[in-house]
Amino acid sequence: MSMPSRVSRRRPLWGLVALVALIPLVLAGCKGNEQEQAPPPGSTTSEQPPPQATVYTRAEIATFTPDQIEALRKGIAVMQKRPATTPTSWIYQANIHGVPVEGDNCPASTDPMQEAWSTCQHGSFFFLAWHRMYLYYFERILRSAIQEGTGDPTYQFALPYWDYSTHQLPDPFRMPADPSNSLYVSERRPLCNNPQPGQECVSDAQGSSQQAMTLVPFCNCPDGQASCDGCTANLTPDETFGGEFTPQPEHFLNQFGELESQPHNVIHNRVGGPTGWMSDPDCAARDPIFWLHHANIDRLWQVWLNQNSGRLNPLGSTAWTTTKFTFFDEKGTKVEMTGCEILNMVTQLDYQYKDLPVQNVQLCAQAGQPKPETTPAPAEQVQELAASPSQGFTLGSKPLKVAVPVPAKARDRITSLAESAQPERLRLVIEGLSLVHHGGVYEVYLNLPQGQKPDPKGPYFVGLISLFGHLGQGQESSRSFDITDEMHNLAQRHEWNGKVELTFVLSGGEETGVVAESTPAQLVRFRRARIITRQQE
Ligand code: C2O
């Protein structure tokens, strides 16, 4: 074995940068919330333990130097050589997310089932916390693998993130397109590995987290439940940032919070396509880009908190704060973690995102302190205004138009809502969604005129539908969109004629000849579409 050689260029002054960057964080941490408020009950912001010595800074992948990219490649290669049943191996870590079975987009696992395999949390309010823990231990394992691979035991590695709102799949993950590059996998949508002029892997609409950022509630109570442990009642999951309350961990539930739907699910499906790894939860974490995708999702969680105005983690929920999840550290030692332990990434864990202060973070109440109360949502009246037949609809590679008949009374109501600004909102709900095939991202349009080219930047675009989960397990979810502004704009343009027609278009229909031929005829089903309105009582 050769002596570890130290190449100082490989180790930029991360330590110093981190330390300097910490000073304002520590000060901000002592102040607590930015706005002048009494600290909420349960907040122990002023009693935070002192930050740990090393804080690793996660930076955008495009800022990585060639040396840093090389180190990343070496570390992944080290992990990939370890046997699947070793907790610090690439496959063991990927199988914590999901274990491939027959019919998946990657070969079925032949290894005996191991501890913590197939435990990822999707479709519930555990989504963000579980993935933060998963990334944290993965980062420690990868850092130590990089130290082994580079021969530099002091190498200061932090996971890069991929901000898809600014650029396409990063070059080092596409090139060279051969096994010498451990960041490359061929099992991706061809357009992502081989971009063509004018055809994108990820469009602006697909990479956007804008809608999720506008939402204040972290979580909702399941349908029909007037209250639950720490979440807001009378909301659909996609009116929350972080997803639906569930009393216990569930591998997959399928009621996605807004950030999980968009951009999370959308990016999985865009990168994986119908047959690639990223679109299949049992294969996704085998693709190195998975970890950069999730670092970005984890970063967006803090971006959301920093906007404050009532945005808070659901510390009122005992399930969310105390449920224990199992992982392994860089020594292969089993560890358990709870929601309470991952709230402040700097002081409780050991990382931060470049140029992103950690603000508006409450910690769990200490023994004897009262639990924070969740303000109950104002009582609301939900009224159905219109509904499509509930015969069921199938989305494939061709656009589908669905008429939603509007009864006369509802038409007047919609007209008056569309014409004058009122607090009452109109919502389009797509019910009974199920996944037939991986990889689809659908654009939804409201009253797209005949012959008009569907354009997500245009005035008829409502939003995206993108499911990420297991096939054929009978799980159904719903997706809903606020269409008040779209209706208002229709009325403004004198295009509102009392009729509603929805158009569903597979994103990437532009790929004719590249992927379209291999696109399955059916990707997603749904039962019906409804238009509802909510009025505060
Ligand atoms: Cu657990 Cu983005 O996947």
Rounded Cα distance, 95 and 99, in Å: 5
Measured CA to CA, the distance from residue 454 to residue 460 in angstroms comes to 8
3-state SS of 128-186?
Answer: HHHHHHHHHHHHHHHHHHHHHHHCCCCCCCCCCECCCCCCCCCHHHCCCCCCCCCCCCC
Q: What confidence tens digit (pLDDT) does each residue in 12-25 have?
A: 344 444 444 444 44
Paired residues of 403 in beta bridges = 501
pLDDT at position 32: 33
What single string gives the DSSP state of each residue in 45-92?
Answer: GGGPPPPPS--EEE-BGGG--HHHHHHHHHHHHHHHHS-TTSTTSHHH
Segment 436-458 shows an average pLDDT of 94
Between the CA of 213 and the centroid of ligand 1 the distance, in Å, is 19
Q: Which atom of ligand 1 is nearest to the CA of 265?
A: 2
**In this predicted model, which residue has the larger pLDDT, 424 or 35?**
424
Type and span of the H or E element at 449:
none
Q: What would you report as the CA-atom Rg of the chain, rounded to the nearest whole angstrom?
A: 24
26, pLDDT greater than 80:
no
For residue 98, the ligand 1 atom closest to its alpha carbon is: 1
Q: pLDDT exceeding 70 applies to what percent of the chain?
A: 85
Taking a C-beta distance cutoff of 8 angstroms, is the pair 167, 60 a contact?
no
**Percent above pLDDT 90 for the chain:** 73
From the CA of 264, how far away is ligand 1's center (Å)? 8
Q: Which residues line ligand 1 (CB under 6 A)?
A: 97, 120, 122, 131, 264, 268, 284, 294
Whole-angstrom Cα distance, residue 495 to residue 489? 8
Q: What share of the chain is helix, strand, coil (3-state, %, to 5)?
A: 30, 15, 55
Distance (Å, whole) CA 486 – CA 459:
7
pLDDT tens digit string along 211-222? 999 999 999 999
Look up residue 448 and give its amino acid. L
Does residue 428 contact residue 531 with C-beta atoms inside 8 Å? yes
The predicted-structure confidence for 244-303, as pLDDT tens digits, reads as follows 999 998 888 878 999 999 999 999 999 999 999 999 999 999 999 999 999 999 999 999
CA 475 / ligand 1 centre spacing (Å): 17
Give me the pLDDT at residue 535, please.
72
At residue 370, the pLDDT reads 60
Spatial contact of 527 and 381, defined as CB atoms under 8 Å apart: no
Which ligand 1 atom is at minimum distance from the Cα of 122? 1
Q: Whose CA is nearest to atom 1 of ligand 1?
A: 120
Work out which ligand 1 atom sits closest to the CA atom of 294: 2
pTM, to two decimals: 0.88
Q: What is the pLDDT of residues 86-142, one digit of tens each?
A: 999 999 999 999 999 999 999 999 999 999 999 999 999 999 999 999 999 999 999
- How far is ligand 1, taken at its centre, from the CA of residue 242, in Å? 13
What pLDDT shows up at residue 13?
41
Compute the mean pLDDT over every residue in the chain, rounded to the nearest whole number: 87
Enter the tokens of residue 517. 């031929």
Q: Using one digit for the tens of pLDDT, what is the confidence trace for 38-52?
A: 344 434 444 455 555
3-state secondary structure of 195: coil
Residue 382: pLDDT band with limits 50, 70, 90: confident
8-state DSSP, 504: E
